Each structure stands twice: as C-alpha cells, then as structure tokens.
Amino acid sequence: MMAVKKLTGNSIILGRETRLMGNRFEISLVANDPVWANERIDTAINEINRVEKLLSTLTEDSKINEINRNAGIKPVYIDAEIYRLIDRSLQISELTHGTFDISYSTLATNGKTSKNKASFTNYKNIILDAAAQTVFLKNKGMRIGFSAISRGYAADRAKYILQMQDVSSGVINAGGDLLSWGLQPDNTPWTIATADPQQAGQPYANMNISNMAVATSLNVDKNNTTANKNTSNIDPANGFQVSEIKSVSIITPGAELADAMATPIIAMGINAGLYLINKLNQMACIIVDDHSRVYTSRDINLVA
C-alpha cells in the first residue's frame, strides 16, 4: 500500500513497504503524482526480485549453484554481471585482509578438515579468468554465496533503475540499511532520522546522508547475554577490561560496498577498523562499543 509521509508544496514523499530478499524493504520517492510514483516503485521491486533470483542458491539451475557444483572440477562461464560482482568481492577481501569473504565450505569442521578449513574458505582460491569470463573454485567442498552483499547490491540496482526513470530523490530502506539520493521535498538533505524514523534515537540520527548509503551491522555476540559476560574481554597484558564493538555503521556512496564493509570492521576491532576506514576515500564509519561510547572516522563531526 502506498503511504504519504510528508507534504511540502506540490511535492510529497510516497512510500511502499514490502518484504523482499527475506528483509523489510521500504522504497520512498519524492514526487507529485502518486500513480507515477507507484509505477516507479513497481519497477524497483521487479529489479530487486531479479537480483535475488540471479544470486540465489535455492534453485537447482541457478548460476551460483553451477559454480558451486563444479568446485575443484572445472571453470564455469558466467555472465558479465556476476563476473563483476565476484571481482568486486575479491577486491573487498583484499582490502579487508580476508575478513570479508564470499567463500565458505560445506565440509564438516572436525579433525583434518578443521585444520585445513582455511584452504577451502580462502577467497584466494576463487580464480577468475577475464578473457574467458569464467570462475573456478579450486577445491572440492568449496562454495560461494552473496548473502553479505546481495541486499546492498539490490538496493544500488533499484536506485539506478529509478534514476533512469527520472526519479530525482528518494530513499531505499533495506532492512535498516539506507540508500538515499536527492533532497527532501523542503530541499533539505536526507538525514538518518528522516530516512528511517526508527533510528531517530541514535547518536548519529541527524547526519546528512543525501547521495550516500548507510549500512549498519550489529555484533551478534555482544547482543546475546551469556553466563560468562563479565569474565570475558580482558586484556591479558594489564588485566583491564577491553571494550568491544556493539555496532558499526558504514557511510559511503554505494550500498553494496557499505553492506560489505560493516561486518568486517566488527571483526577487526575499533582501532584497526578506524585505521582502515581512515585510509579510504569516500568512506566513513561510526562505531558504538559495548559501553555505548561512540567512535568516528575522520571528517565526521557528530553534533549532540
């Protein structure tokens, strides 16, 4: 159902919420014609569904399943879209020193297999041939999957489709990850709170995110209480408790890259994560630790 969120002059924010790729998606456009906006949203939803089918492993005849079935056997020819997605994924793996990795193993993790698990899940064993446009997984039992970036990639593609249809401003909320472009009806920038009112209580709620993507990853371990909660996270060198990351938000122009980078920063830790982000252009991050302290990369100034 189409919902009107805000009215300013002739422009309104028209949005629709639906479930796509197993997540809540909300697509909101700035327009003055509800019928036109509704048709545009239909095309965006169709594109998201296309991406889900393209990257799915649920159908036996999918290209991803063909790649996985031929692991350790032979290279598989793939279309340019999947090839470029795998290539970008490998670049992110290099950037994050393997913390981000689209490869995984179907083999049981015990005995000898557990010892050699890294050889199956290592992104360096995904071999691309640009001339032949093929991908080859070097080891049997090795698999690839795109769950870590498929939602962001789908959002980027939906935005592209909408912009090609002259949608000059809007927001795609993909399960809490945000992608915005243009301005609000009153010509003010999109902020995290206006793009997603559910995040209005966050310390970064008023951050300008027009023409940017924001992906947030939660540290699942820190959000689950355990009996050993108070005895873990101790620095063995000095005995003091070490703060751990509770959440990471990545801000960058593309949703795919934001989606891919959020979880690796949690694995790297606060100092290493900030060091990496500060070396990159057009990327920023906001880290909240388990004491609710906020850390930001350079050039971010949070106003209280």
**1-55+151-304 and 63-144 agree in CATH topology:** no
Could you please report the per-residue DSSP string of 129-147? ETTTTEEEE-STTEEE--T
More confident residue, 3 or 209: 209
pLDDT grade for 120, boundaries at 50, 70 and 90: low
Mean pLDDT, residues 108-135 = 75
pLDDT grade for 301, boundaries at 50, 70 and 90: confident
Residue 229 has pLDDT above 60, yes or no: no
Residue 109 has pLDDT above 70, yes or no: no
Residue range 9-30, pLDDT digits in tens: 578 999 999 999 999 999 999 9
- Report the pLDDT value the prediction gives residue 202, as an integer from 0 to 100: 85
Mean pLDDT, residues 199-216 = 92
Tokens of 17: 């919420």
Residue 226 has pLDDT above 60, yes or no: no
Residue range 254-265, pLDDT digits in tens: 999 999 999 999
Whole-structure pTM value: 0.87
Query: Residue 24: in which H helix or E strand, if any?
Result: strand 23-31
- Report the pLDDT value the prediction gives residue 119, as an integer from 0 to 100: 60
β-partners of residue 103 are 144
- CA separation for the pair 278, 266 (Å, rounded): 15
Residue range 91-102, pLDDT digits in tens: 999 999 999 999
Class of domain 1-55+151-304: alpha beta
- Report the pLDDT value the prediction gives residue 64, as an integer from 0 to 100: 96
pLDDT grade for 115, boundaries at 50, 70 and 90: very low
Residue 4 has pLDDT above 90, yes or no: no
CATH architecture of 63-144: Orthogonal Bundle (1.10)
Alpha carbons within 13 angstroms on the beta-carbon side of residue 32 total 5
Q: What is the mean pLDDT of the chain?
A: 87
Tell me the residue type at 132.
A
Mean pLDDT, residues 212-235 = 61
- CA separation for the pair 52, 99 (Å, rounded): 24
Q: Is 106 exposed, middle or buried (0-12, 13-18, 19+ CB in 10 A)?
A: exposed
Q: CB–CB of 253/301 below 8 Å?
A: no
- Report the pLDDT value the prediction gives residue 222, as an integer from 0 to 100: 56
Short-list 175, 148, 156, CA closest to 266: 148
Please state whether 164 falls in left (phi above 0), alpha (psi between -120 and 50) or beta: alpha
Could you tell me the residue ranges of all domains in the chain?
1-55+151-304, 63-144
Please state whether 203 falls in left (phi above 0), alpha (psi between -120 and 50) or beta: alpha
Tell me the residue type at 56.
S
**Pick from 82-91, 183-192, 198-207, 229-238: least confident:** 229-238
pLDDT grade for 228, boundaries at 50, 70 and 90: very low
- Report the pLDDT value the prediction gives residue 240, as an integer from 0 to 100: 37
β-partners of residue 287 are 248, 295
Over the Cα atoms of the chain, what is R_g?
21
Residue 260 phi/psi, 5-degree rounding, is -70, -30
Q: How many CB atoms lie within 10 A of CB 254?
A: 20
Please state whether 133 falls in left (phi above 0), alpha (psi between -120 and 50) or beta: left
Q: What are the start-end ranges of the H helices in 72-191?
A: 80-95, 111-115, 117-121, 150-164
- Report the pLDDT value the prediction gives residue 262, as an integer from 0 to 100: 95
